Every structure is written in structure tokens, then in C-alpha cells.
Structure 1
């Protein structure tokens, strides 16, 4: 049974040895390796790659989706240049990880869905966008193998999110125009201000800040020195406060699930350093503390309590009712296109959904990323996505175990990436801000971070014997 699981999750596959015998791999990866040795530009390849990724994550909250798309095109072009010119003969070179394989299968399902789409022109356009995001993952997985670049990019995102959160708090204290009906007009909260900062939508802001809350919390544990820890605490408090004032119920669900996951995984990471008493009682104390915090928030904040209780109001809440009516039309779409869906992207959805919608319930998406995946790429696409999740989390846990054995503090950021993914998936159950570029780029960054830790089996065993204390530099 264990062997079946290892094969299913690709954890026991000698990927590096297999790829060396692949004609397709050898005809793409490193085919221009000799040219790179004499290239002045590519001598600075990693620095240029880091700069391109920095532009994406520094500018994403402030610029148009068109500019983000152009930056993604630049990233993909440079990733291709690095890929064909890499030195594949290096023993430390890792061009493909187990996570790349289900990502490729997921893309293949989208290609087939596009070919079979009833609205092929719209699907082809969105397939290009989908491909850019998947290539961004490959770019991140390749570039972030450098701990220094990985640390820099996380630090950059946390500083940018701090700016976004500060402006959001300013909106809360000084007022902000509500650009749409984001609260049930019949609710006692109809006059409350939901902040949206530079992103123009509180639900989108909640999705953008969810990784920032988790990663700033991880920074408190990871960053060394009192000034840096003080900065991490400041980031966590400010991000959490702004996150709270988005009043995004989906984001609240995502953060709650992410924190529960974090509560369970942190004791495992620190188990070796804990007193026997704390080994036994730390998890119950953390769970109890988390529950007490939620209860306190519900008791002392009437606004927060009403917002949370509205989740369980069913059709009595207008937002819930709207989503349920949209889902009714979505289920009909799935019934007619169950295998490969209607094709990827919101353009395909916008052309097909009006044929199934209930009167007066227009929508731009399925308001659930899992329903959206089924609508766009069918149950084949959903199966490939679930396989991607299983392989990713399994690979992350295996590398976390290795890093824990090596006492490598970089494992904390791996924990942060996986926990963030859990939270974003939970948020995605009831919303589709995951598809917006400001959030989708963060999702593939998290997947790329997990992939960047991948170490081939033989190299991992070698590290266990040759690295007595490989703690990476902390911020």
C-alpha cells in the first residue's frame, strides 16, 4: 500500500535519472548550455529573474491586469531562455520536480477543454492566460531554489502587503466610498465600511492579505534579532487588522482553516526542542487558545459576530442567496459539459452561463474555484487539480521532514507556503478571487516555493550525512 502511495504521489520516482533518458527533455533543457557560458547577459541570469519576479509582486496590487500580464509574458520569456541554456550536467541541477508533472497534466486538460469548447475563440484567449500562470509557477520553482532569492521575494511581498494594509486601515478610520453593494442592504451592517485599499474590492483584498497574515506570523518565528521580530509583529498586527476590516467572510473561513493547520503543524516542527510537558500539552493549549480567541471576538465585536453569523443565514442573506442561485445555473452547465467542461477562463463562462442563469442573477464566475474548475475543464480537470494538490502537499511534507532532520530553519517558510495554500483553497470554496491576477500570482508563488525545496532522493540522502547544521540565513 505504501508503494502504491509513493508511486501515486511520485515521491519514489527517480525523476532525474528518468528525464536524462528522455529525448524531449534533452532536446529542450540545456540545449544551449554551451552558449550560456559565453553570454554576459546570462551570467546575471538569477539576478535578472529575481528582478522580474520582484516587479510582478511589487506592482500587482497597484497596476492594471494588462500590465501584470505583460510582466508575466516577460517572466515566461526569460524562464524559457534560462531553461534552454541551463547546465543540466551539474549534479545539483533540478529542472523538473514531481509537482511539475500534475501541473503539466492540468494544463493538458485545459488544452483538451479548449479544443472541445462550444466557444473556442474565447477559450483560446483564456488558455493563453492560464498558460502564463502555470509558466510563472515553473519560473518560481526554478528561481526560488536560491534561499537568498526566496527570502528576498517573501520579504518584498510582506513589505508591499504592509503598504496595502496601511492604506486599507486609513480607509477604515477616515471613510471610503463603497463602490458596490458589498453588504446586505437589509442587514444591521448595511452602513459599515468594508475596506478595499488599492485593489478596489474587499473580497479581493481579503484574498490578497491572507498569505500576508500567515507569512508575517511565520516571520515572527523565523526572523532573528529583536528589531526584525518587532517588524514581523508589526506586519502581522497591521495585516490582520486590515484583513479583519475587509469583512470578507470567505477570507475569514480561509484564515481560520489556515490557522488550524498551522496549530497542528508547528508543534511537529518544534517537537524536538520542547520539554516533555509541552510535547504533550502544546497542541491542546494552542487549539484551546485559538477557540478562545474566536469566542472572544464573537462576544466583544458585534459587527464581527453579525458578519460571521450571516454565513449560516442561508438564503436570508442576500449574498448567500445570490451565490446559491448562481450555483443552480452552474450545476446545469456541469450537467451538460461534465467531462471536459466549456473551456478555461471567464470569457468562456460569460458566453455560456447566460444560457443557464436564473433571471436577474448574472455572474462573472461560479463563486467557487472547485465548481469553476469543473465548469471550465470538467471532472477530468478537477481530477488533475486534486492530483496536483496531493502531490504538492506530499512533496512539501517530505521536504519538511528532511529539513527538520537537518535542523534547517528554512522549513518554517515551507510551512508558511503550505498553510497559505490550505487557507486559499478554503477561501476558494465560496469565492473566485483566486482567479484574479493579484491572488493567482500568489497561489502559484506558494506552489513554486514548495517545489523549490525539492531535492532528488540520492541528493537528499547525501545531505543527511554531509550537512551537520545547514541553517540558512534568516532575515
Structure 2
């Protein structure tokens, strides 16, 4: 059973053998000689980190168009690095292979789309994100550069959260109808900071909460730990004040996973009593705090109650009707198409969705920019084939994350805290995305692929990882 799981998740895949037989991989490295003689390319990794710093440093504050230009610059730089790579520098993981497979499925879906021009726009955006992942997975192999990018994101998120708290204190005007006008929360301030939408802000802060909590353990000095604790409190408070139900569920899921991983990490270093009771005590304390907060804070209580209101809440009713229209779209088998929509979808991107969905929506009142669910959106774009590929990618990513976490735990490396935060953030963002549309905004998509890239950056082939761990274990 264990062997079958390892084969499914490519845990023991010999990438060296794959690279040796891959025609695609033979295209890598024709400019090796130029790179070896170039003074500037001696700083190739820091230059890549600088590009990533622009992406994550500016994302909350600038337009989507400018973010797209930065991603295009990342694509060009990744291409330059790739064609000038040496054999020793070539880096790939099982995660890379499945990202490439997902891109291939999306490419076929684009070619077969009933609105090819619109699908090509979405395919271009997806390609930018996936190339960003490839660049990040390469650059973040350096612990120093990885720490720099994470620290930058944490400081930017702190600025975003502080401004959100200021909006709560001073009051702000809603830029859209985010609350049912007939609900008790109709006049409640929902903060959105620089991102312009409270649900989008919540999606942006889910990883910030996880990483700021991890920083409390990863950063060594006490002033840095105090800053990390402040970040955790500020980010969590701002996320709660978005009153985004999906964001709340997402951060609870991320927090639960992170607490589980932290308990596992610390279990061998604690007395037997704490090994047994630490997790129940932490989970009990957090659960008690959340229950008391819901019971005692009226706006929070009303917002949580609306989750279970069904169609009685206008936001719930809107999503249910959008999902109904999307399911009709997925189930359709048009005569002018080679394959039913549920096999390979209608093509990637919201431009395709906006052209095709109006035919299937249950009422003109329920127009939508996307499917309001990651799973439904993936089926719309790439069909069940794409959904299967995406699920395979997630299984492989989480498996690799777990394997590398075990390796880092055995050698006692503090890098494990960042890895735990990335795994927890993926879970939180995935849970949030099940009921919301923010996952496809560039501010969130770049973070999603950052989490996957962080996990990929820790990759060490399993036989080598076992050898290194056993060699270093007596020293810890």
C-alpha cells in the first residue's frame, strides 16, 4: 500500500533518469558558455529574488495590469536562466512535472475551446503564474533568499493590515454591496484595505496569519519574535474585521493544520505529559476562545449564523444560483463540440467564463465573474481531466511537503517552520476558495503558487534525504 502511494505521488521518481531521456529537457542550457563569462549573471539568484520582491511588494497596491507586467518580466528572466543553465544547476521536482501536465491539459482545453481567442487570454495568464512558480521554486532553494521573500511578504501584509484596522476605527464606505441590506450587519464596516474587497483581503491575509505565527518560532531573536507576535495579532484582527465567512473558515483550517504540524514537530522534544496533552489543550483553548467570541460579539455572531441561513441570506442565495448555472454549463454536451464540457472544459480564464456562462445562468440577476468555487471553476475550464490532474498535483505537493518536513525535523532545522506555514496556507486558501472567487485574482494566485514553490524548494530525492538524515541525526 505504501509503495502504491509512493508511486502515485511520485515520491521515489528518479528525475535524473527522466531528464536524461526527455527531449524537452535537452533544450535547456544552450547559452551555458555565455553565462559562465557574464559578470552580471554571477548574481542571477539575487536578481531573481529582486524580481520576486517587486511582485510581492507591490501586489496589494498596484493594478492587475502592472502585476501582469511584472509577471511577464519574471517569465523573460526565467527563460534566460533556463537556456543558460549548466547541468549542475538544473532543478526539477515531481511537483514540476505535474504543474507541466496541468499546463498541458489547459493548453489542449484552449485549443478545443468554443471561444479560442478568449481562452488564449486565460491560457496566457495561467502560463505567467506557472512560470512564476518555476522561477520561485528555483530562487527559493536558497534559505537566505527564501527568508527574504517571506519576510518581505510579512512586512507588506502588516502594512495592509494596519490600514485595514484604521478603516475599522475611522469607518469606510463600502465599494460594493457586500452585506445583505436586510441583515443586522447591513451597517457594519467591512474593511478592505488597499485591495478594494473584503473577501480579497481575507484571502490575502490567510497565509500572512500562518507565516507570522510560524515566524514566532523561526526567528531567533526576541525582538524579532515580538514583531512576529504583533504581526500575528494584527493580521488575525484585520482578517476577522473583513467579515469574510470564507476567509474565516480558511484561517481556521490553516490554523488547525499548523497547530497539528507544530505539535508533531515539537513532540519528541517535550516531556511525556506535554506530548500527550499539548494538542488537546491548544485546540481546546482555541476552540473555547472562538466559541466565546461568537457568543459575546454580536456582529461576529450574526455573520457566523448567516453561514447556516441557506437561501435566507442574499450572499448564500447568489452563490447557490451561480453554482446551479455552472453545473448546467458543465453537464452540457453541445452539438458543435468534439467533447462534452465535463470532459475537457471550455478553456481557462474568466474571459471564457464571461462569454459562455450567461447562456446557462438561472436568471439575469445572477451574472458572475467566475464559478465561486475552485473545484467548479477547474471543471469549467479543463473538465474532469483537469480536475484529476489538479488533485494529483495537490496530493504530490502535500506528500512532498510531509516528506521534507520529516527530513527537516530529523536534523532539527528551523526551516521546517516555513514549510509548515506553507502547507497550512495551502489548506486554508483551498478551503476559502471552495466558496469564493478570490483565488483567481493575481494578488491571491501569486500567493498560491508561492506556497507550492516554497514546498518544492525544499525538495531532496527521498533516497538522498534518508541518507543525509541518518548521517546528521546523531549530531542533533
1:470, distance to aligned residue in structure 2 (A) = 9.4
Contact 1:250 1:427 in 2 (8 A): yes
Q: Which residue is 2:459 aligned to?
A: 454
Contact 2:32 2:84 in 1 (8 A): yes
Q: Does 1:387 align with 2:392?
A: yes
Q: Deviations over 1:321-342 (max 9, x none)?
A: 0000111100000101110111
Q: Deviations over 1:392-441 (max 9, x none)?
A: 00000000011111111101100000000000000011001010000000
Distance 1:148 1:80 in 2: 23
Q: Does 1:65 align with 2:64?
A: yes
1:443, distance to aligned residue in structure 2 (A) = 0.3
Q: Does 1:209 align with 2:205?
A: yes
Contact 1:16 1:94 in 2 (8 A): no
Distance 1:310 1:34 in 2: 63
1:161, distance to aligned residue in structure 2 (A) = 0.4
Distance 1:322 1:431 in 2: 11
Contact 1:176 1:193 in 2 (8 A): yes
Distance 1:394 1:258 in 2: 17
> Number of residue pairs matched?
467
Q: Which residue is 1:28 aligned to?
A: 27
- Find the partner of 1:439 among 438, 444, 449: 444
Q: Which residue is 2:300 aligned to?
A: 304
| Alignment root-mean-square deviation, CA | 1.3
Q: Does 1:10 align with 2:10?
A: yes
Unaligned runs of 5+ in 2: 333-340
Q: Which residue is 1:374 aligned to?
A: 379
Distance 2:313 2:57 in 1: 37
1:285, distance to aligned residue in structure 2 (A) = 1.0
- Find the partner of 1:139 among 135, 138, 157: 135
Q: Deviations over 1:348-387 (max 9, x none)?
A: 0000000011221111111001110011111111000000
Instruction: Summarize the Cα distance change of 1:449–1:469 in structure 2 as closer, same or farther, 3 Å threshold.
Output: farther
Task: Identify which range, 321-330 or 294-303, moves more after superposition.
Answer: 294-303
Unaligned runs of 5+ in 1: none
Distance 2:318 2:330 in 1: 19
1:456, distance to aligned residue in structure 2 (A) = 2.0
Task: Identify which range, 222-231 or 16-25, moves more after superposition.
Answer: 16-25
Q: Does 1:350 align with 2:354?
A: yes
Contact 1:407 1:469 in 2 (8 A): no
Task: Identify which range, 14-23 or 33-42, moves more after superposition.
Answer: 14-23
Contact 1:33 1:87 in 2 (8 A): yes
Q: Does 1:166 align with 2:162?
A: yes
Contact 1:322 1:361 in 2 (8 A): yes
Contact 1:14 1:457 in 2 (8 A): no
Distance 2:228 2:452 in 1: 23
Q: Deviations over 1:238-290 (max 9, x none)?
A: 11111111000000010111111122221111111110001111111122112
Q: Does 1:285 align with 2:281?
A: yes
Q: Which residue is 2:336 aligned to?
A: none
Distance 2:414 2:184 in 1: 47
Give the TM-score taking structure 1 as reference length.
0.96
Q: Which residue is 1:251 aligned to?
A: 247
SS at match of 1:338: helix
Q: Does 1:398 align with 2:403?
A: yes
Q: Deviations over 1:430-473 (max 9, x none)?
A: 001010000000000000000000012343244225546999xx
Counterparts of 1:53-202 in structure 2 under 5 Å? 53-88=52-87, 90=88, 93-202=89-198
Contact 2:206 2:254 in 1 (8 A): no
SS at match of 2:110: helix
Q: Does 1:411 align with 2:416?
A: yes
Distance 2:474 2:45 in 1: 26
Contact 1:144 1:150 in 2 (8 A): yes
Q: Which residue is 1:269 aligned to?
A: 265
Contact 2:343 2:384 in 1 (8 A): yes
Counterparts of 1:329-344 in structure 2 under 5 Å? 329-336=325-332, 337-344=341-348
Distance 1:326 1:231 in 2: 42
